[in-house]
Amino acid sequence: MLNVPLGPTPTEAGLPRRFGVFATLPDALDYAADGATGLNFHDGKGRLAAALPYRSLRSRALSLARRLLRAGLVRGERVCIVAETHPDVVAAFFACQYAGLVPALLPLPPAFGGKDAYVEHLRRLVAAARAAALFVPGPLVDWLAPSAREAGLKAFGAVADLPPEAPEEEDAPLSPSRPEEIAYLQFSSGSTRFPTGVAVRQRALMSNVEGILRHGLRVRPDDRAVSWLPLYHDMGLVGFLLAPLAGQVTVDLLPSQEFARRPHLWLRLISANRGTLSYSPSFGYELCVRRGRNAATAAGPLDLSGWRAAGIGGDMIRPAVLSRFAETFAPDGFRAGSFVPSYGMAEATLAISFAPLGSGVRADTVDLDRLEREGVAAPPATGSRRVRSFVLCGPPLPATELEIGDAAGSPLPERRVGRILVRGPGLMRGYDGRPAETAAVMSPDGWLDTGDLGYRLGDEVVVTGRAKDLIIVNGRNIWPQDLEWSVEQSVAALRSGDVAAFSVEEEEGETVVLLVETRGAPEPKAREALAAEVAGTLRAKHGLDGRVVLVPPGSLPHTSSGKLSRVLARARYLKGEYGPFVVAAAR
């Protein structure tokens, strides 16, 4: 760990503000290093553990870049880094930028789940990245050493264990990443069995970062960011590391696992350091409310009056959750108008749209019957009982085009629900080494099919759900095939095709549901044992709690080609067709 200076880096940079208008990340860090701002790393008690001014980050990154090349890495090769919230991870990421290497930040082990499942997941990610090196926290070295040897990596271990620079190398020239080259690989979504990396290029990254700083958040001289978001996720990496650095903004960082244990540390950091910019998926706000205001104020008064942009993104935005948060923390100065609903995804680097600053959460209430039957988001008729509210996520960033398309991709008029299509300078050119997957979502003229459903209301986008099968629970992207495969492989009574996984949105959030055919378990006790085994597998291998629903043999729906239809299975579940066979797993 670094030596801790007398205090955290200041809010004011002392430089003329540049809103991410740089050709590359190295250019952005070169400029930020002339100012006083930087990154502050906090521990599980909210105390400052290390301060890393941008000037120190640049110095460390340049030195580490030469050490990476000395270890045998060659410009253009890929470097995987398990992304704990630590100065070494950030320095290694920027070292790759200066050395012309391509970093990929990978997840830490989940709080729940087995070692073997995590090691296998990392093995697949390293293979998908075609990595030449893997850097991990010290405690994980023994876990991952066998996989590293099998992969034949040029370098493996903790960043701190790299051999030092030789004196003659201290001024050796470097060849930093160029505007048209890949800045990093982002593995924030997709199947864990078949990971697909988004190849984010420097030019697209810097375009998106400028949109975030200049138009989405309209960064000001007194802005200071606070984040607990994991650095391996696009919202944590781009939103609260790369964009702030490119805008010369100081960031106070809290490890994600510490937030999960003590969510009010997040609020206390915002209060103590006068944070103005901070984001979370809806579940983060909900977790703070569940723990109660007393937990947040036990250590002293809380002042959230400076928090001007309380962003929401990463999952479906739930107005009821945010309303409870605003009500709970209003006595501490929090303003409901500070909420900033946003829409984005890794394939667009990060941001696609922002709600107007100061407008808070604005919802559009529609007739649910017409929405389901006709695909029209129409205002409800007088006396209508079946209604649904969706949050407006604002207009797209300048230079980003957004359309709502039908099944053929043709534009739909306002309030017609279809697939959300986007085009602009911040989009990826494609998935890394996956031309077929790229062609499935990118049109020849540059339109990205996001896989999400929504409609337009004026110039704003309203997201209604996902056309794709991706499950998002507590900010995690989960592919249903992974859950099905794990259960079918682990539970002896099951075979391929016996499980259908999906999520349903309920009042308090999304719930993972597994429909499991009761082959070989006809008696009540046997059914209960089967449900318990399935639930245990889900926890052990994926760190998830879910609802196990036992259904009769042969009752899971399939397409005409024999493929499992999760859409139809979910629809039948919601209609109550599987009701008599439900066994709810303990949560």
Q: Which of 503, 424, 429, 496 is nearest to 466 (CA)?
A: 503
Give the up-direction half-sphere exposure of residue 561: CA atoms within 13 A in the CB hemisphere: 2
Least confident of 140-144, 384-388, 436-440, 452-456: 384-388
76, 77, 79, 80 alpha-carbon torsion, rounded to 10°: 110
Q: Which pLDDT band holds residue 581 (cuts at 50, 70, 90)?
A: low
Q: What is the mean pLDDT of residues 49-54?
A: 97
Same domain, 495 and 442: no
Judge whether 237 lies within some domain: no
Q: Token pair for residue 41?
A: 């790393």
User: Over 60: is that where the pLDDT of 561 sits?
Assistant: no
Judge whether 473 lies within some domain: no
Same domain, 439 and 507: no
CATH code of the domain in which 539 resides: 3.30.300.30
Same domain, 436 and 483: no
Same domain, 409 and 510: no
User: Over 80: is that where the pLDDT of 475 sits?
Assistant: no
What are the C-alpha distances in Å from 24 to residues 154, 202, 345? 27, 5, 21
Number of domains in the chain: 3
Judge whether 129 lies within some domain: yes
Q: Taking all residues of the chain, what is their mean pLDDT, rounded to a whole number?
A: 91
Q: What is the per-residue pLDDT for 63?
A: 95
Q: What is the mean pLDDT of residues 446-453?
A: 94
User: Over 50: is that where the pLDDT of 1 sits?
Assistant: no
Q: 499: exposed, middle or buried (C-beta count within 10 Å: 0-12, 13-18, 19+)?
A: buried
Same domain, 495 and 438: no
Same domain, 457 and 525: no
Q: What is the per-residue pLDDT for 486?
A: 86
Q: Which pLDDT band holds residue 254 (cuts at 50, 70, 90)?
A: very high
| CB-CB contact of 415 with 456 (8 Å) | yes
Judge whether 66 lies within some domain: yes
Dist. CA 94–CA 269, nearest whole Å: 26
Q: Which domain holds residue 406?
A: 347-466
Q: In this predicted model, what pLDDT tens digit does every residue of 5-38 receive, in sequence order?
A: 568 999 999 999 999 999 999 999 999 999 999 9
Q: 10: exposed, middle or buried (C-beta count within 10 Å: 0-12, 13-18, 19+)?
A: middle
Q: What is the per-residue pLDDT for 560?
A: 46
Least confident of 237-246, 396-405, 559-568: 559-568
Q: What is the per-residue pLDDT for 586?
A: 42
Q: In this predicted model, what pLDDT tens digit does every residue of 277-313 receive, in sequence order?
A: 999 998 899 899 989 999 899 989 999 999 999 999 9
Q: What is the per-residue pLDDT for 310?
A: 98
Dist. CA 23–CA 17, nearest whole Å: 16
Q: What is the mean pLDDT of residues 422-431?
A: 97
| CB-CB contact of 24 with 176 (8 Å) | yes
Q: What is the per-residue pLDDT for 477?
A: 66
Judge whether 201 lies within some domain: no
Judge whether 104 lies within some domain: yes
CATH code of the domain in which 125 resides: 3.40.50.980
More confident residue, 139 or 479: 139
More confident residue, 294 or 189: 294
Phi, psi of 120 (to 5 degrees): -65, -40
Q: Of 177, 198, 219, at which residue does a domain stop?
A: 177
Q: In this predicted model, what pLDDT tens digit does every residue of 146-172 receive, in sequence order?
A: 999 999 999 999 999 998 877 766 777
Q: Do you know the residue count of the chain?
A: 587
Q: What is the per-residue pLDDT for 104?
A: 98
Least confident of 231-240, 372-381, 428-437: 372-381
Dmax over CA atoms of the chain, in Å, equals 80
CATH code of the domain in which 426 resides: 2.30.38.10
Same domain, 378 and 425: yes
Judge whether 228 lies within some domain: no
Q: In this predicted model, what pLDDT tens digit does every residue of 457-474 receive, in sequence order?
A: 999 999 988 777 778 877
Q: Which pLDDT band holds residue 499 (cuts at 50, 70, 90)?
A: very high
User: Over 70: is that where the pLDDT of 420 sits?
Assistant: yes
Q: What is the mean pLDDT of residues 219-238?
A: 96
User: Over 70: is that where the pLDDT of 451 sits?
Assistant: yes
Same domain, 431 and 499: no
User: Over 90: is that where the pLDDT of 518 sits?
Assistant: no
Q: What is the per-residue pLDDT for 189?
A: 56
Q: What is the mean pLDDT of residues 558-578?
A: 79
Q: Of 424, 442, 466, at which residue does a domain stop?
A: 466
Q: What is the per-residue pLDDT for 112?
A: 60
Q: Which pLDDT band holds residue 559 (cuts at 50, 70, 90)?
A: low
Q: In this predicted model, what pLDDT tens digit does every residue of 98-146 receive, in sequence order?
A: 999 999 999 999 766 678 989 999 999 999 999 999 999 999 999 999 9
Rounded to 10°, the helix 54-70/25-32 angle is: 140
Q: Which of 79, 97, 96, 84 is nearest to 134 (CA)?
A: 79
Dist. CA 82–CA 60, nearest whole Å: 18
| CB-CB contact of 108 with 84 (8 Å) | yes
Taking only Cα atoms into account, the Rg of the chain, rounded to an integer number of angstroms, comes to: 24
Q: What is the per-residue pLDDT for 587?
A: 44
Same domain, 63 and 167: yes
| CB-CB contact of 23 with 39 (8 Å) | no
Which residues are within 8 A (CB) of 575 and not within 5 positions of it... i.e. 6 or more apart? none
Predicted structure pTM score: 0.86
Q: What angle do CA 442, 445, 449 make, to 5 degrees?
A: 30
Same domain, 354 and 386: yes
Same domain, 494 and 564: yes
Judge whether 412 lies within some domain: yes
State the pairing for strand pair 418-423/448-457.
Answer: antiparallel
Q: Token pair for residue 574?
A: 């919601």
Q: What is the per-residue pLDDT for 111?
A: 67
Q: Of 121, 153, 177, at which residue does a domain stop?
A: 177
Same domain, 483 and 456: no
